Chains A and B, each alone.
Chain A
Amino acid sequence: MFQREFWMEIGESLWRHKLRSALTAFSVFWGMLMLVLLLGSGNGLRRGVEFQFKDDAINSIWIWPGTTSMPWRGLPTGRDMRFRNAEVKHLQRTEPLVDKLTARYHLRGTFAVSRGDQSTTFRVRSVHPDHRFLENTVMLHGRFINPVDLEQTRKVCAIGTEVRDFFFAPPAKGQQDFGPPPIPQPGVWTAADSAAMGRYLTVKGVPYQIVGIFHDQGSRGENQYIYLPISTAQKIEGGTDRVDQIMFTFGNASLAESREVEARLREDFARRLKFDPDDQQAIYISNDLEEFKRFQGLFNGIEAFVWVIGILSLIAGMIGIANIMLITVNERTREIGVRKALGATNGSLVRLILLEAIVLTALSGFMGMALGVGTLWLVDTQVLPPIPEPDSMFMHPGVTPGVVVGALSILIGSGALAGFIPAIKAVRIAPAVAMKSA
């Protein structure tokens, strides 16, 4: 039944009807190509975003004090919560998953940052040394705030590139136009860098020596910050031990673990600050990992969308094949009649028609698949950098083999099915009638 002769007859028939074969082949080829590229790109997008979140210390938790909204053991609602150094120390001591930990304390009131007769309002944060891991701060020169600064309450600061440029490479004196951010090049000294390092900036009347210049690739605003040691800032603000915000990262943790940490924090803080553990407004906890998972949800949504488009293009391909099969069988009615007159059995004719369709769809579909997979591979290995760019949103495009083979099978199956019914009908026509058709 599947002997060589039969396959040669099929090959010959396909070859002799070049245009018809080419049209069918192209529609299947194109459908598969598009499907593979679409699904592959969707995957690349998802992987890119996952990578983004991994790179940016996704496993971080940020905590702010709020105001109680529930009474607790005789204490009224509406109490403002306050964090102190004690909370930071306690977290450091008790939370096993803590990796990098920092607090922030903001200088109170409005104030200017000045140098000589230049003065403007830059943003100031006083922090712990680990802060740079949470904000992805890249030091260009010098160093960030260090533990010794904290211990000795040194009056030092690390400044962003825009602060540097304002004071040490002003476009025109007194003008607050910063221009486009310069491309950061660690180790390369510009005139502004040389001018800035070791000099002093006055914040709220106190001079701080510049010990480091940093660049933050995140947002532009980050380069307008001045960082101070938190202990120094607290001392200058009248020896307060308040902190405004605590944030920390933890090592590789599952979403479940990070939720556990969150729950543990809430209980811990509730006990220490005396509020109802169920009071969601007493303190605010933001869990990056949770946000990441939400993003993942978004990208699952995108993937679903890609799938819908993929399935629609698959259906378009199926309709294309079905249509061509119908036309083909109609066109071949006369041929079917002639072959029957010469002794062809109905079964052999149905097989001929179907296998022609199957061979054609399989070959062209496979070629579309191969080109698609090859293109994705080329993009992955040749076009995209081997080490992904930090802001890359597109990584390792690719498709699951099972999915693509499944799609191809569906195409082949629909081609065969679409040919089957008209083929059965056509071979049942009496040869005399079939031969009369055009």
Chain B
Amino acid sequence: MTDVAGTHATAPVADDAKWQRVLRSFAENKQAVFGLALLVVLLLAALLAPVIAPQNPYDLAQISFLDAMMRPGEASPGGILHVLGTDSQGRDLLSAILYGLRISIVVSASATLIALVIGLVLGLAAGYFGGRFDAFLMRLVDVQISIPGLLIALLLLVAMGPGVGKLVIAMVAIYWAYFARIVRGVALVERKKEYVEAAICLALPRWRIVLRHLLVNCLPPVMVVGTVLLARAVLLEASLSYLGLGVPVTQPSLGLLIANGFGYLMSGEYWVSFFPGVALVMLIFGVNLVGDHLRDVLNPRLQR
């Protein structure tokens, strides 16, 4: 990128050149812009669900079995137009999807974020201090990663029982290892660089070296891995909910909605499963598009 060989005597580049560059290259990439726009729309829709949804799908008083399985575009006698139809319990599907999107995003994002923080702390400690702790942690990570995530989550959820909180715990238990591994690898590389030696030589406190020097330099790859894992987490949450081990039936996420409608798929009542499926695909697609581009932009080899 900038100033490769250091040939210019003065290099008057604007202060925040790096972030401008990130933004500009984002703006230049149609896929990235599309992915970002998609994500923003979905996030807004999830955030504003109580405002924009025609119905509160959690409020049993608003739901009537008499409205069950209405086709997309039909209006119920109550006066609500069911743009995407209703499900077997008479819930407005658009409302259910908006609320379900919320749950899917909250569960997978919080699980990813908690896993990120745990992985960051453990990975940094392992990379910086090394030794037995490092060896132990990396064995644990190896074992953890070699077992399929779905299996771990299934076992944990069977043991702990269902619930949103437990679902998050199960997902954190899977994803922390990926973060720990990548952070540890980056920290090992960064730790050997001379700016860390300089910090040691300047007698800076250890925590300061780890947090102010190492941590910030480990963040870009963590962000990239974070988006990949976020997309996976969305899918895993959907899978677990589909299997009935995730969120409670009264507060369906996208995965549970898909599961609910699955039985009707072959009998022509496609919409009950199909539209939540579309929403899930859009969410994963958006995260992946942004993540892919983030990976290009933050590629350490193109940096500095």
Chain B associates with chain A: no
Residues of chain A at the chain B interface (Cβ within 8 Å): none
Residues of chain B at the chain A interface (Cβ within 8 Å): none
